[in-house]
Amino acid sequence: MELIEPEFAVACFLPPDVAELRTQVSDHSWLSPDRSFSIMIQVCCLDRDPAGGGWAMNRNASNLESCSDCPIRYSAVCSRCEPGELARMEAAKRYLRFKSGERIVWAGDEMDFVASVVSGTATLSQTMEDGRTQMVGLMLPSDFLGRPGRSVAPYDVTAASDITLCCFRRKPFEEMMRQSPQIGRRLLEMTLDELDAARDWMLVLGRKTAREKIASLLLSLARRAAVRERAAVGDGVVLDLPISREAMADYLGLTLETVSRQITALKRDGVIALEGMRKVAVPDLGVLVQEAGASWSVGDCSGGSSMPCGFAGRA
């Protein structure tokens, strides 16, 4: 049968208690009798909102694992929770998964949830009235998406890779913060870490050379890897680049050619080693710290804050 690209798409949302339809969570196409157009029908199951507020779309949102086994258990917003508090969070959480390139949140949209990044990476970006866009941040595992008390999303959030989010409805999460001060304290710590990172990034974009900018970005990623691997300054780590070189150029205010030249130079000088397209080995974190012109060590980083925002002209 000849396949025709669908011209229309219709989403059908079905309650999960319609047992005979739960097995049909898939895409279906319908071809008009005269074969002039086709319609793609996407059938999606709905789950009960954990807050009791109706139905919520199920994007493969099954529970991956218990909170005690979560890979971000000791770096996310829940890291200070006592067993009883953790149990309440586990009862309210839902996992959502997005494919690379999918838009998670549009700037200006109502945002009725908050979330921690469990795995994968997302970008934060802003769009100007004339259509120009700027990436202003990266979200990595353990980073917190959304703000209690704020219902409108300030940035476009896009999955830079396949990503899993541990989500909570915003209102119930705000109530948990009132009942469990440890959650609020941890969120404050993460917010202050993010503020410090943003100030550091102003220095990176305003004063550092192209080589130092690349080294600073790699060092920020390496610090996260060092925390996970409990590495010291003189140790080495291997990290996955969460974004393409083109995105790195946009983020750092450089051209693509400059990014490629500086990465090649860092490789030639033995500061990094490239293992494939997206994997970077750092043999000695101390050397990378020096290349970045940084005055702090990777041991100072406790994780749990998103990559900073920044703007710069092209180099």
- pLDDT value for 60: 46
pLDDT reading at 21 higher than 90 = no
**Of 142, 106, 138, 102, which is closest to residue 123 (Cα–Cα)?**
138
Spatial distance between the Cα atoms of 125 and 253, rounded to a whole number of angstroms: 14
What dihedral angle (degrees, nearest 10) is formed by the CA atoms of 201, 240, 165, 107?
Answer: 40
Neighbours of 62 (CB within 10 A): 9
Total count of residues recorded for the chain: 315
Give the pLDDT confidence of 114-153 residue by residue, as tens digits. 999 999 999 999 988 898 888 989 999 999 999 898 889 9
Sign of CA pseudo-dihedral 281, 282, 288, 291: negative
If you average pLDDT over residues 214-234, what whole number do you get?
A: 78
Spatial distance between the Cα atoms of 8 and 124, rounded to a whole number of angstroms: 30
Give the pLDDT confidence of 169-215 residue by residue, as tens digits. 999 999 999 999 999 999 999 999 999 988 988 899 889 999 999 99
pLDDT reading at 289 higher than 50 = yes
Chain mean pLDDT for the chain: 77
Residues with Cβ within 8 Å of 275's Cβ and at least 6 positions away in sequence, in order, are: 238, 281
Q: What is the per-residue DSSP string for 216-233?
A: HHHHHHHHHHHHHHT--T
Give the pLDDT confidence of 6-17 residue by residue, as tens digits. 344 444 444 444
Domains recognised in the chain with CATH numbers: 1-48 (no CATH), 59-179 (2.60.120.10), 190-300 (1.10.10.10)
pLDDT reading at 50 higher than 50 = no
**Of 162, 27, 167, 164, which is closest to residue 99 (Cα–Cα)?**
162
- pLDDT value for 16: 41
